[in-house]
Structure 1
Amino acid sequence: MDAVLTGKGISVAYQQNIIIPSMDVEIPRGCVTSVIGPNGCGKSTLLKALSRMLPVRSGQVLLDGGMIARMPAAEVAKQMAILPQGPQAPGGLTVAELVAYGRYPHQKGFGRLRKEDYEAIDRALEMTHMEEFAERDIDALSGGQRQRAWIAMALAQDTQVILLDEPTTYLDMAHQLEVLKLLEKLNKTRGKTIALVIHDLNLAARFSDRMIAMREGKVLHEGTPEEIMTPTVLEEVFSLKACISKDPWTGRPTCVTYEIS
């Protein structure tokens, strides 16, 4: 497996509180990888460590084979975009202005937008179907539209790797599908490597090529949805007895019902 992002023996802590004691993990190139696990198991911490938002206490994070800790911030931003959980935009910002922030790593001189920047912004708005909202304030958008605007910013950044922390949280079912179908399209048509933290196991299984199952700061299992979405694995990860069936529409495994074990 060709990994574009690798954690080797990484340990991560907030002050003296160790969240991830030691972990080896790989994000395969050109795939959609979901990170699942109970609340507080370290999923978001893992994404922050892989993106250099949070320093590792020990171990190494490699981005395309290079040590990310030694890379200039602008170089990292040209290769990888991250959307944290519940991002907040400054008041009064329009969609187009937000998306333009994605061009920051590519700007030179006095930071003025160039022709290629405007072209990248237009492409990002088009791919996310946000052209008609370009001049609308972020605060005036629906939840799904707002998430698409943030994804458009990441697309304008023009990176091969996109990390997303719970991009479907607080969205209704239709908007969850809207966001995940967009990410799926970016992966299939543009070859983007996507890793996301997600709580809905059925959506994770439906849209992912690979799944990483965590508990208490450790990777317990990783593999295809068929390998992860089993009663044995879900009981070990979530302490749940789960009934797993095959989705008649997608053919992917789906959790029909569950109970605390």
Structure 2
Amino acid sequence: MELAMEGKQLVIGYGEKIIIPAMDVKIPKGKITSIIGPNGCGKSTLLKALARILPLQSGDIEIEGVKMSSLKTESIAKKLALLPQGPQAPEGLLVEELVAFGRYPYQKGFGKLSKEDHEHIERAMKATKVLDLKGRSVDTLSGGQRQRVWIAMALAQDTPIILLDEPTTYLDMAHQLEILELLKTLNEKEQKTIALVIHDLNLAARFSDHLIAMRSGTILYEGDVEHVMRKQVLADVFSLDAYIEEDPWSHKPTMVTYKLLHSKQ
């Protein structure tokens, strides 16, 4: 399995509070990887560390086989883009202006956008279907439209790897599907490696190639969807008694219903 990113013996935390005590993690190249697990298990902490937003306390991260610690910030910004949870744009900022921020790692001199920059910005807006919104203020858009604009910014950054922290949070079911179908298209047509934190297990199973299941700062299971989306795994990771069937459309395992393991009902 060719890897886009690999973490070795990662120790991650905030000050003296250790969230992830020692972890080896692999992000397969050219695949969609979903990181799942209960609240507070360290999913977002891991993603921030992979993006070098949160410093490691110890361990190493390799990106395309090169130690991240040996790379300059500008070089990393050309290899991976991060869409954090609930990003906020300055009031009044236009869609095209926000997407243009994705070209920041490539700007030189006085920071003027080049012809190539403008081409990347337009291409990103076309791919995410927000080109007709380019003159709109970001704060006037719907939740689904805003997420597509933020993904356009990440796409304009033109990196082989995109990390997203809960990109479907606060969206209704239709807009969740819209965002995940967009990510699937970017993965298949643009050959982007995508890793995301997501809470909806059925959406994770439906759209992912690889799953990482965490609990209490530890990876309990990882592998393809069929390996992870199993009754025993969901019991170990979420303390759920789950009824799983094959999705008739995606042919991936899907959770039909579930109850807490300690429930008497």
**Range class of TM-score, shorter chain:** over 0.9
Distance in 2, matches of 1:16 and 1:98, equals 36
Provide the TM-score with structure 2 as the length reference.
Answer: 0.98
Q: Which residue of 2 aligns with 1:179?
A: 179
Q: Which residue of 2 aligns with 1:83?
A: 83
Matching residue's letter, 1:140: T
Provide the TM-score with structure 1 as the length reference.
Answer: 0.99
Mapping of residues 1-261 of structure 1, within 5 Å? 1-261=1-261
Measure how far apart 1:110 and its partner are: 1.1
Measure how far apart 1:11 and its partner are: 0.3
Measure how far apart 1:226 and its partner are: 0.8
Distance in 2, matches of 1:113 and 1:229, equals 45
Q: Is the 8 A contact 1:162 1:192 kept in 2?
A: yes
Measure how far apart 1:196 and its partner are: 0.2
Match of 1:6, SS state, is strand
Distance in 2, matches of 1:69 and 1:214, equals 25
Distance in 2, matches of 1:220 and 1:243, equals 20
Matching residue's letter, 1:136: R
Deviations 1:78-99 (A, max 9, x none): 0100000000111110100000
Q: Is the 8 A contact 1:52 1:69 kept in 2?
A: no
Deviations 1:41-64 (A, max 9, x none): 000000001110001101001111
Measure how far apart 1:70 and its partner are: 2.4
Matching residue's letter, 2:160: Q
Distance in 2, matches of 1:91 and 1:68, equals 34
Distance in 2, matches of 1:24 and 1:172, equals 34
- Uncovered stretches (5+) of structure 1, i.e. residues with no partner: none
- Uncovered stretches (5+) of structure 2, i.e. residues with no partner: none
The list of structure 1 runs, each at least 4 consecutive aligned residues, that deviate by more than 6 angstroms after superposition, is none
Q: Is the 8 A contact 1:202 1:255 kept in 2?
A: yes
Deviations 1:118-164 (A, max 9, x none): 00000000000101100100001111100000000001000000000
Match of 1:151, SS state, is helix
Q: Is the 8 A contact 1:33 1:194 kept in 2?
A: yes
Distance in 2, matches of 1:31 and 1:82, equals 16
Deviations 1:199-223 (A, max 9, x none): 0000000000000000000000001
Match of 2:78, SS state, is helix
Matching residue's letter, 2:12: V
Distance in 2, matches of 1:255 and 1:82, equals 29
Matching residue's letter, 1:23: M
Matching residue's letter, 1:124: A
Q: Is the 8 A contact 1:5 1:63 kept in 2?
A: yes
Matching residue's letter, 1:89: A
Match of 1:162, SS state, is strand
Measure how far apart 1:15 and its partner are: 1.2
Distance in 1, matches of 2:137 and 2:179, equals 19
Distance in 2, matches of 1:90 and 1:247, equals 41
Distance in 2, matches of 1:69 and 1:14, equals 19
Deviations 1:151-204 (A, max 9, x none): 000010000000000000000000000000000000011100000000000000
